[in-house]
Chains A and B, each alone.
Chain A
Amino acid sequence: CTSLVAEDNAGRLYHARNLDFGLFLGWDVKNESWKIPEYLRPLTVNLNFQRNNKTVFKSTNFAGYVGMLTGMRPGTFTLTMNERFSIDGGYIGIIEWILGKRDGIWMSFLTRSVLENATSYAQAKDQLAKTKMLAPAYYILGGNQSGEGCVITRSRTAALDIWELDIKHGIWYVLETNYDRWKDPLFLDNRRIPAMKCMNQTTQANISVETIYDVLSTKPVLNKLTTYTTLMEISEGTFESYLRDCPNPCMPW
């Protein structure tokens, strides 16, 4: 996955993501693509969760999947989740859960719970940073005020790092793939540098929904695992999702 939060010169906050999933889960020789993304695309839906006929939050999701990976609480915050690989991974959490140790929360359920219940950026950030989980993850959170944007690197028990926008010091965007920001990405899977190069070329003055779509359409940020691209802008309430494909030549991940 690739997720980013960016702020333009006028203080508008943009949040966008490519959802990549299905590595090593079956290769379709005929179509030269991974099988799981092929089957996930027709299941991709935008959901408008309402209570008393009023929107509580919006999400891009897969039919049949009740947790959330991408969402917006209109006017309040935007949230995406990227997978974080670790030896202390989710399978340990699942085993603990089966054995009756159930003090953690499933990570996509936490995303949904925050979208449904948190009423401010600060509250969302606090819950995402402090709640004990079953699996490690990266939470990418955007707010509705200048400077409100961060990447929360989570282990199962704690926030290891919170990387925030810092406009005064030139950090006008934060961008996360699937690697801790203080480590180099795997040399075979470096989407971070191409994405950052494109963001830097775009510049803060020109950042918009349109130019962010350009960044997320550049290979290998776009790759054969990419199922959908979601674009969000909090002040206007923009929430757009598009199904993606990556014709050859294209990286398998």
Chain B
Amino acid sequence: AQFVPPYTEDCRRGTYPPSGPTFKGIVPWYKINLDLAPRVRWNQLINDKKVELTSLIQVIKNLANDFFPSGKLIEIVDKSLAPLVDTLPSPFNEELKGIADVSGVPLGEVMLFNIFYEVFTV
């Protein structure tokens, strides 16, 4: 039955510790110091993941541009979502600004990434 959608397998056994084709790697640990100012507490992590974050945002922009080839949607995101950051409660507003500073990703696009889950509940 595994080869017929929905590809329902017999319950797996003995898969732990993780290995094999369904395991893509361990997740690295980072420390976030809440005693630091919100604007700088994500700096180390974002420095390390700057390339990956930029790549994800670019994929999202490409998808948006597939639907709106004029580039208007991303223009709206950059112009309209950035001021919205100031309406977020502390410390989230300052943290997003810090992430935009370090990553070089426009603030509106950082905001878009952070509200993705809300947007896709429809």
Contacts and interface: CB of A to CB of B under 8 A. Distances in A.
A218 interface: yes
The secondary-structure label for the interface of chain A is mixed
A42 B55 CA distance: 10
B75 to A, nearest CB: 17
The secondary-structure label for the interface of chain B is mixed
A228 B89 CA distance: 29
Contacts of B13: 214
A143 to B, nearest CB: 23
Interface residues of A, number: 80
Contacts, number: 210
B121 A89 contact: yes
Interface residues on B, range: 35 or more
Interface of A: 21, 25-26, 35-36, 39-52, 56, 60, 63-67, 69, 83-87, 89-91, 93-94, 97-98, 102, 105-109, 116, 134-137, 188, 190, 194, 197-198, 201-202, 209-211, 213-215, 217-220, 222, 228-229, 241-247, 249-251
Interface of B: 2-3, 5-16, 18, 21-35, 42, 45-46, 48-49, 52-53, 55-56, 59-60, 62-63, 66, 80, 84, 87-89, 92, 95-96, 99, 103, 105, 110, 113-115, 117-122
